[in-house]
Amino acid sequence: MQGELLNCIEKWPGRLECNLDLADLYPSRHEFVEFKNRYNEFLSSDKETRAMYRLKGKRLIYQSEQVIPSKRDRRPALLLIFGNPASHSVKAGCFFAFKDGKENPFWKSLLSVAGILDFGHEGEIEDAEANRRRLKRMLTADYRSPFRLGLCVFVSMPSRAGGDWSGVAGIRRLLGKKAWDRVNELETDRVFNIAKKFVKGDGVVVTFQRDAWEGLRSKNDSPYAVTKAREGRLKGSLNGWEVIRLMGTPPTRLLGPSREVLRQMLSQEGFELLPNSDH
């Protein structure tokens, strides 16, 4: 369970507010000053990241994202777990958000072509409206899919999409190894709780990132290796909940391999996917 060190609560649909106790993580003045120096550099690298964080005394408060539909139906649950949020997507209120009039290829070039999700025809609309509409449809499971889809992140802290402070590596660098290890344990608990509530025995959990696979896999499952991910050989079960199937794919930045492995593994499990489509 999450403790006082880290708490994340759903403040708005699709949006989490998280609270991290820095006094616990950095008990000495020297450790806290070193963190603050890294934190200031981290924030100065990206204006959208700056908008996601605020420091209140020795508590770090930040915004994150999670989309778990409240609607239940007969479709099996498919929980997709990514590394950490991109700051611009959290700000926009939608995973893999539209930006500068362009749709993130995750939705059509990965999920749609893989036969996982079809939103049907969507007209040309402004970014903000597109993001709001997509979030609403994800939260209400208003789409064609053999699954009821959930999206979450393994590391709740957002960062920029590129550059020195990007991705999970940027958060690891920000926190420092000792603090990272402690926070990682709590993030693992947080995601386990999501998976156990959302995914039943007929569903699947899919990870798109190394830490997520390593944190969630059963002890006898294969350790992460990118070659194994590319070959579709990361298959196992949720640690301690062997009834729930766990799969690992290449990261979403490797769009083609991620898509093909996802489709291949779900097909092998007997799921009837949507016709291959790129519309």
Beta bridge partners of 237: 245
> Of the candidates 101, 96, 100, which has an alpha carbon nearest to the alpha carbon of residue 86?
96
234 within 8 A of 249, measured Cβ to Cβ: yes
The number of beta carbons lying within 10 Å of the beta carbon of residue 102 is 8
d(CA 207, CA 199): 14
Specify the pLDDT at position 65.
97
Residues 6+ apart with CB under 8 A from 118: 112, 143, 144, 145, 274, 277
Residues 6+ apart with CB under 8 A from 159: 42, 46, 49, 84, 85, 86, 87, 165, 166, 167, 170, 171, 174
- Examine the pLDDT at 17 and tell me if it is beyond 70: yes
Per-residue tokens: 46: 């990206």
- Examine the pLDDT at 24 and tell me if it is beyond 60: yes
- Examine the pLDDT at 4 and tell me if it is beyond 60: yes
pLDDT band at 279 (very low <50, low <70, confident <90, very high): very low
Average per-residue pLDDT for the chain: 93
Q: Report the amino acid identity of residue 205.
A: V
Domain 77-160+177-268 has CATH 3.40.50.150: no
Sheet holding 15-21, edge to edge: 6-12, 15-21, 59-65, 53-56
Per-residue pLDDT averaged across 54-67, rounded? Answer: 97
109 within 8 A of 41, measured Cβ to Cβ: no
> Of the candidates 138, 7, 126, which has an alpha carbon nearest to the alpha carbon of residue 64?
7
Specify the pLDDT at position 2.
46
112 within 8 A of 277, measured Cβ to Cβ: yes
- Examine the pLDDT at 38 and tell me if it is beyond 90: yes
Read off the DSSP letter of residue 240. T
pLDDT digits (tens, 9 = 90+) for 229-269: 999 999 999 999 989 999 999 999 999 999 999 999 999 99
pLDDT digits (tens, 9 = 90+) for 151-202: 999 999 999 988 889 999 999 999 999 999 999 999 999 999 999 999 988 9
pLDDT digits (tens, 9 = 90+) for 91-134: 999 999 988 778 899 999 999 999 999 998 775 567 788 889 99
Read off the DSSP letter of residue 102. B
pTM: predicted TM-score of the whole model, two decimal places: 0.94
**Bigger pLDDT: 163 or 224?**
224
pLDDT band at 211 (very low <50, low <70, confident <90, very high): very high
Read off the DSSP letter of residue 115. T
Percent of the chain with pLDDT over 90: 84
Specify the pLDDT at position 105.
92
196 within 8 A of 58, measured Cβ to Cβ: no
- Examine the pLDDT at 144 and tell me if it is beyond 60: yes
